[in-house]
Amino acid sequence: MTKRTVKDVDVAGKRVLVRVDFNVPQDEQGGISDDSRIRAVLPTIEHLLEQHARIIVCSHLGRPGGVVDESLRLAPVGRRLAELLGRPVTALADCIGPEVEAAAAGMRAGEVVLLENLRFHPGEEANDPGFAVALARPADLFVNDAFGASHRAHASIVGVPRLLPAVAGLLMERELDVLSNLLGDPEHPFGAVIGGAKLSSKLGMLESIVGRVDHLLIGGGMAATFFRSRGLNTGRSLVEEGRLEAVRRLEDEARARGVRLLLPSDVVVTERLDGEDGGRTVPAEAIPDGWAMADIGPRSIAAFSEALAGCRTVFWNGPMGVFEQPAFAVGTRAIAAALARLGGVTVIGGGSTAEAVTEFGLADRMTFVSTGGGASLQFLAGEELPGVAALPER
C-alpha cells in the first residue's frame, strides 16, 4: 500500500470527513438486512475515535437521481452504526448547508454525525465543484474508506480530496493490499471463479488475469456467450453477440498459457426464472429452445469443486446462477462451500457474490470479502480507480 492512510496523520481534535459506502440492502420495513458494509468500516471509525477526532460520516444509498427519496434516507443506517459503535450517532437532515456546518462546528472530540444521502443532490454524481466545496467546508481532513464507490468520479470521491488533506481509511488499505496481491504474488495454484449474468462487465478483468491464474472457471449466465462461441445452442439465455470474438481470443490465450479453462458440462435450465417450475438439468450441449440457463448442474459442481480443492488462492466474482431463487441457488452454494473448506486464500469480489456468501452464512470463513463489486473488477482489470488516484502517495 503506497497511499497515505489514516494512521499516517494526526487527527486529534480535527473534524474528519469520512466517505464510506453504506449502500446497504434494506428489507421491506426499511431495516438493514445486511450490515456487512457498515461493519467493514468500523476499524477506521474506531481508530478515529481512539485518536479523539470529531467524525463526520458521509455516504450514498441507492439511486435517488439527485432528488430526495424518503425510502433512501440514511437514518436507519445511522441507528445501526450507533448500535455497532455503542455510542450515539447523530443523523443530519442534509449533507451540505448552514445546518450541517453549524452541527460540525459544535461537535466535541469523540462525537459522530452522519450526513444525509449524498445522492439527494445532483452535484454528487455530476462531480460538481460547488457541491464538493460545500461538502468539504465543515471538515479539516478527508478519509476515503469507500472502496466500493471509488471507481466513480463523483464529487465526494474525487472532488473533496482536491480541497482537503486526504488519506485512505483502513478498509481501503486492506482492499488494495489484498487485490494487489492477486495481481502481484499470489500463492499457486491460483484459481478464479467468474460468473454472473453479463460477460461485458468482466471481460477486461478476465483478459487481465488469464495469464496469472492456473484455473479459470466460468459459470453463471455469462457462460452462454462461451457456449455460443463454440457453436452450441443456448435457448433464450442471454448471449452477448458482440463479445464472441473476444471470448475466442480469451480461450486461445488460456490454451497458449496452459491455463485450465472450465465451462459447465451440464446446466439447470428453466422456462421461468422466478423459480416456480424448478427447472431441469441438461447437458450443456442440449439446451432446448425457449429455455434459459439458471444454474450449473451437478456434474459441473463436481468438476469445479475438484479444480478448486487443489488451489492455494481463489478469487470469486459472480454467482453460478439465479441464486436469489432457492431452486437455482445450488451451484452458487456449492462453490461457496468449496471455498469455505479450502485451506488457502479465498477472496470474494464483492457485489452479489458477497451477498451470496453472507446469505449462506459463510462470509466469516473466507479470507476476505471485498466491499466493491465493480471497483474490484476494475482494479483487477488493471484500470485506475479515480478515488484511489485522488489520494496522495506516502
**Mean pLDDT calculated for residue range 261-274:** 94
Kind of pairing between the strands at 313-317 and 345-348: parallel
Give the model's pLDDT for residue 150: 97
Give the model's pLDDT for residue 26: 83
Spatial contact of 30 and 76, defined as CB atoms under 8 Å apart? yes
Q: Catalytic residue at 202?
A: no
Q: Catalytic residue at 191?
A: no
Is 265's pLDDT higher than 80?
Answer: yes
Q: 170, 199, 233: which is the final residue of a domain? A: 170
Q: Which segment of 17-31, 36-50, 215-229 scores lowest on mean pLDDT? A: 17-31
Same domain, 185 and 156: no
Same domain, 77 and 185: no
Same domain, 81 and 143: yes
Please identify which of the residues 221, 235, 351, 387 carries the catalytic annotation: 351
Q: Which residue range forms the structural domain that includes residue 288?
A: 178-380
User: Most distant CA pair in the chain: distance in Å?
Assistant: 68
Is 387 inside a domain boundary? no
Q: Inter-axis angle of helices 373-380 and 351-359, to 10 degrees?
A: 130
Q: What is the CATH number of the domain that holds 148?
A: 3.40.50.1260
Same domain, 35 and 130: yes
- pTM, to two decimals: 0.92
Is 394 inside a domain boundary? no
Is 392 inside a domain boundary? no
- CA pair distance 14, 241, nearest whole angstrom: 54
Residue given cell 485506475 in the structure block: 384
Same domain, 33 and 152: yes
Give the model's pLDDT for residue 11: 97
**Mean pLDDT calculated for residue range 139-158:** 97
Give the model's pLDDT for residue 21: 97
Same domain, 187 and 333: yes
Please identify which of the residues 14, 37, 174, 212 carries the catalytic annotation: 37
Residue 116: helix, strand or coil by DSSP? coil
> What contacts 377, CB < 8 A, 6 or more positions away?
201, 202, 204, 205, 317, 349
Q: For residue 73, how far is the Cα from the chain centroid?
A: 21
Q: Catalytic residue at 374?
A: yes
- CA pair distance 389, 376, nearest whole angstrom: 15
Please identify which of the residues 198, 272, 299, 312 carries the catalytic annotation: 198
Spatial contact of 371 and 172, defined as CB atoms under 8 Å apart? no
The set of cell numbers assigned to 134 is: 460545500
The per-residue pLDDT for range 79-138, each reduced to its tens digit, is 999 999 999 999 999 999 999 999 999 999 999 999 999 999 999 999 999 999 999 999
Q: Which segment of 78-82, 181-185, 255-259 scores lowest on mean pLDDT? A: 181-185
Same domain, 191 and 120: no
**Mean pLDDT calculated for residue range 316-334:** 95
Mean pLDDT of the chain: 95
Closest CA to 179 of 30, 386, 372, 393: 372
Same domain, 193 and 165: no
- Tally of domains in the chain: 2
Beta-bridge partner residues of 18: 57, 143
Q: Catalytic residue at 198?
A: yes
Same domain, 232 and 367: yes
Is 332's pLDDT higher than 90?
Answer: yes
Is 31's pLDDT higher than 90?
Answer: no
Give the model's pLDDT for residue 276: 80
**Residue 149 dihedral angles phi and psi, to the nearest 5°:** -115, 5
Same domain, 59 and 116: yes
Is 389 inside a domain boundary? no
Tally of CA atoms within 13 A in the half-sphere of 12 that contains its CB: 2
Give the model's pLDDT for residue 41: 97
Is 30's pLDDT higher than 90?
Answer: no
The per-residue pLDDT for range 283-302, each reduced to its tens digit, is 999 999 999 999 999 999 99
- Distances in whole angstroms, Cα of residue 284 to Cα of each of 1, 52, 87: 43, 59, 54
The answer to whether the peptide bond before residue 319 is cis (omega within 30 degrees of 0) is no
Same domain, 141 and 230: no
**Mean pLDDT calculated for residue range 177-203:** 94
Residue 83: helix, strand or coil by DSSP? helix
For residue 29, what pLDDT band results from cuts at 50, 70 and 90? confident
Same domain, 164 and 206: no
The per-residue pLDDT for range 196-242, each reduced to its tens digit, is 998 998 999 999 999 999 999 999 999 999 999 999 999 999 999 99
